[in-house]
Amino acid sequence: MTQELSRQTSGHALFTIGEVINRLLEEFPEITISKIRFLETHDLVTPTRTASGYRKFSLVDIERLRYILRMQRDHFLPLKVIRTHIDAMDRGLEPPAIGDVTPKPPRVLVSTDSIDESASAKAVRLTHEELLANVEDAEQLTKDLITFGLISADEQGHFNGRDLAIVETARSLAGFGLEPRHLKTVKSSAGREIDLFAPIITAARSGRNGASKAEVQEAALQISNAILRLHELVLRQLLDEQI
């Protein structure tokens, strides 16, 4: 549902308000143009406008309307609550379960094994309160990770899916007595590793035949994966010497 309702849709099909009514009528016989306009006035759906002022709805808008109408009909949720759901979904989160109050990260992000492979990791945006609510009994650990700079909010005050994965990984390390203050060296080490290949990326981006953004990202991914693999091998070699 989250991706369905994302404002960033690749589809270009647009529908008039009458066509929207026809698509929703079977499931919602009471739907009217006035109802859709009412939801629009409350900023729950924002269709585009033609030069002549006519409303045009995307498939994403239609799914958004479908979700709103279901929440009203099946769960009797007020618009104020539904708006918080919509806001959460616009930030890449799962809407709260009925009776719950906290939006959740998409289920694919809950596993730290998949976090780095998920294209949604950076797109997910959690407020500070949502981050703390989603880490269960690790609130103090999370606050310490922020204090020691291992995770940080962006300019809008949001944390992303990778921040959540860092918290979960740090939680497992805390079981061995490693606290956030000990993990500062990990970030310092990562910064030095970035310094190794940052000039290569800069050169690829600004060269005579400047590489496309996709090409630069692919090169950065290949280099970072190779460095991570090297880091793992060297770490394991040093660990074997300690055992």
CATH class of the domain whose range is 2-90: mainly alpha
Using a cut of 0.75, tell me whether the model's pTM lies above it: no
| pLDDT, position 19 | 95
Q: Which residue has the tokens 């939006």?
A: 103
| pLDDT, position 144 | 93
Q: Which residue has the tokens 């269960």?
A: 136
| pLDDT, position 207 | 62
**What distances in angstroms separate CA 30 from CA 36, 88, 158, one per listed residue?**
11, 27, 39
Sequence spans of domains, the chain: 2-90, 107-174, 182-242
| pLDDT, position 187 | 86
| pLDDT, position 39 | 93
pLDDT lower than 70: segments of the chain = 1-12, 99-122, 207-211
Compute the distance between CA of residue 141 and CA of residue 173 in angstroms, rounded to an integer.
11
